[in-house]
Amino acid sequence: MAYLEWIRQHVGPQKIVLVYASACVADAHGRILWQYRADFNCWGLPGGMLELDESLPACVIREVHEETGLQVIPTRVVGVYSSPDFDVTYPNGDQVQQVTFCFACQVVGGTLQADGRESHDLRWFPTGQCPPTLPWYQVMLADLLANQPYATFNQGTPGNGRAAIPYYQFLRRYLGQACIISPGTAAFIQNEAGHILLQQRSDSGHWGFPGGGVELGERVDQTIVQEVYEETGLHVQPTRVIGVYSDPVDTFIYPHGDQVKLVRTFFACQVTGGQLRADGIESLAVRFFPPEGLPRLIPQHHRPLHDALANKGKTAF
């Protein structure tokens, strides 16, 4: 059973956070592929929802092939789109706050053909002749054309703060301890000496980067600002997206039994104020460590650390 069908059986049409992957597919002439969507009867970019057993790159490859017949490879992360401005109500009444990862993609095979189910038509449009489309596709195209090495993350308004009940508690009322796809964030913070800020987590006692899950009504960069302050006492400003991570290694079971597939946006952040302190709730301790003297990290944080220290000059995925 597809993840969307399963979760809607439990929560109904209520607004939930779902993770998507979209594709900006260009041909040899620089034109962009658009699909005429069956659900909204308008033009949009190919893409769809992440499943429990796949990564974001695998998702965008699968969705493009299903909807267009083309085989593609993603080449860079264009942006992460999560503003409440991009909330959507589907024609059947289902409400979604989307966290969409848009990839620039290169065609490597296949034959262009609309599937007749999700895509009624497929056309290549010059970049200066974007068809009428939904707001989030407009900003994706603009970000693609800006051709920045790091993914955009602050399109749309930042949101209106957090609800009284944390989103994960809301979901667990309906889903129990079953595995859910949870978009989250983590922060790479260094002091003037180049030492790296880590937190000792209260749930496992292990060290890792501060961060947390996206709440309803907030953009992903606001999530990291809020989470870092709650867990470390520091005010930060996200400056770039180091990487996005969604591989099977990011699926794990918390000590209390809840199962989660994390889809994390890893931000480089600059400290702008505050006073370092552990909150005693999520963080047992917070401390800056020299890169050569780090404690044993949570396994899921090894690759993000490598990407941050490698400073590849583009968003990793």
What are the tens digits of pLDDT across the range 164-175?
899 999 999 999
For the chain, give every residue range classified as CATH 3.90.79.10. Answer: 3-146, 178-310
pLDDT exceeds 90 at position 249: no
pLDDT exceeds 80 at position 161: no
pTM: 0.96
pLDDT exceeds 90 at position 160: no
pLDDT at 14: 97
pLDDT at 103: 98
What is the residue-averaged pLDDT of the chain? 96
Q: How far is CA 70 from CA 21, 29, 106, 108, in A?
A: 16, 16, 10, 8
pLDDT exceeds 90 at position 297: yes
Helix (H), strand (E) at residue 270: strand 259-274
pLDDT exceeds 90 at position 203: no
pLDDT band of 248, cuts 50, 70, 90: confident
State the average pLDDT over residues 276-282. Answer: 92
pLDDT exceeds 80 at position 89: yes
Closest CA to 262 of 52, 58, 75: 52
Q: Which of 68-72, 138-142, 160-164, 217-221 has the lowest mean pLDDT?
A: 160-164
pLDDT band of 230, cuts 50, 70, 90: very high
Q: Are 35 and 63 in contact (CB under 8 A)?
A: no
Q: Are 242 and 188 in contact (CB under 8 A)?
A: yes
State the average pLDDT over residues 129-143. Answer: 96
CATH class of 178-310: alpha beta
pLDDT band of 193, cuts 50, 70, 90: very high
State the average pLDDT over residues 113-122. Answer: 95
pLDDT band of 36, cuts 50, 70, 90: very high
pLDDT at 162: 80
pLDDT band of 86, cuts 50, 70, 90: very high
pLDDT at 65: 98
The CATH number of domain 3-146, selected from 3.40.50.12780, 3.90.320.10, 3.90.79.10, 3.90.380.10: 3.90.79.10
- In 30-171, where do the E strands start and end? 32-37, 43-44, 47-49, 70-81, 88-89, 95-110, 119-125
Residue percentage of the chain with pLDDT more than 90: 91
Helix (H), strand (E) at residue 45: none
Residues 16, 254: Cα–Cα separation, whole Å? 21
pLDDT at 164: 82
pLDDT at 177: 97
pLDDT band of 202, cuts 50, 70, 90: confident
pLDDT exceeds 80 at position 133: yes
Q: Is 163 helix (H, G, I), strand (E, B) or coil?
A: coil
Residues 202, 204: Cα–Cα separation, whole Å? 6
pLDDT at 22: 98
Closest CA to 11 of 250, 240, 173, 217: 173
pLDDT band of 252, cuts 50, 70, 90: confident
